[in-house]
Amino acid sequence: MSVYTNVSEPELAQFLRDYDLGGARALIGISAGVENSNYFLDTEKGHFVLTIFERLPRNKIPYFLDLTEWLSLRGIPCPRPVHTTAGNSLSTLCGKPAAIVQRLSGASIVGRAPSVAEIGVLGTLLARMHLAGEAFPERHQNPAGLLWWQETARYLVPHLSPENNAVIADEIAYQSALNRRDLPGGVVHADLFPDNVLFENGQISGTIDFYYAGDDAWLYDLAVVANAWCSEADGRFDRALVTALWDAYVATRPPRTGEEALWFPLLRAAALRFWLLRLDAVHFRRPGTITQCKDPEEYRRILLMRQRGA
Regarding whether 271 and 122 lie in a shared domain, the answer is: yes
- Split into its structural domains, the chain has a count of 2
Regarding whether 196 and 86 lie in a shared domain, the answer is: no
pLDDT of residue 1: 44
Q: 102, 131, 162 — which closes off a domain?
A: 102
pLDDT of residue 29: 93
Regarding whether 123 and 90 lie in a shared domain, the answer is: no
Regarding whether 153 and 93 lie in a shared domain, the answer is: no
Q: How much is the average pLDDT of 189-211?
A: 97
Closest CA relative to residue 141, chosen from 69, 39, 242, 213: 213
Q: Residues of the chain with pLDDT > 70: what percent?
A: 96
**Reduced DSSP (H G I as helix, E B as strand, rest coil) percent helix, strand, coil of the chain, to 5:** 45, 20, 40
Mean pLDDT of the chain: 95
Helix (H, G, I), strand (E, B) or coil at 225: helix
Regarding whether 133 and 42 lie in a shared domain, the answer is: no
Q: Are 123 and 244 in contact (CB under 8 A)?
A: yes
Q: Write the pLDDT tens digit of every residue in 220-231.
A: 999 999 999 999
Regarding whether 31 and 155 lie in a shared domain, the answer is: no
CATH number of the domain to which 85 belongs: 3.30.200.20
Note whether residue 32 is domain-resident.
yes
Q: Choose between 234 and 294: higher pLDDT.
A: 234
Residue 33 has pLDDT above 70, yes or no: no
Boundaries of domain holding 208? 116-307
Q: Write the pLDDT tens digit of every residue in 53-100.
A: 998 999 999 999 999 999 999 999 999 999 999 999 999 999 999 999
What string of DSSP letters covers 96-129? EEEEEEEPPPSB--TTSPPPHHHHHHHHHHHHHH
Regarding whether 23 and 135 lie in a shared domain, the answer is: no
Regarding whether 148 and 85 lie in a shared domain, the answer is: no
Identify the band that residue 291 occupies on the pLDDT scale cut at 50, 70 and 90: low
Range in 27-31, 159-163, 170-174 with the lowest mean pLDDT: 27-31
The angle subtended at Cα 211 by Cα 209 and Cα 217, nearest 5°, is 105
Regarding whether 153 and 295 lie in a shared domain, the answer is: yes
Regarding whether 131 and 168 lie in a shared domain, the answer is: yes
Q: Write the pLDDT tens digit of every residue in 130-139.
A: 999 999 999 9
The angle subtended at Cα 274 by Cα 130 and Cα 252, nearest 5°, is 20
pLDDT of residue 24: 98
Regarding whether 34 and 133 lie in a shared domain, the answer is: no
Q: 77, 102, 127 — which closes off a domain?
A: 102
- The alpha carbon of residue 270 and the mean position of all alpha carbons in its chain are separated, in whole angstroms, by 12
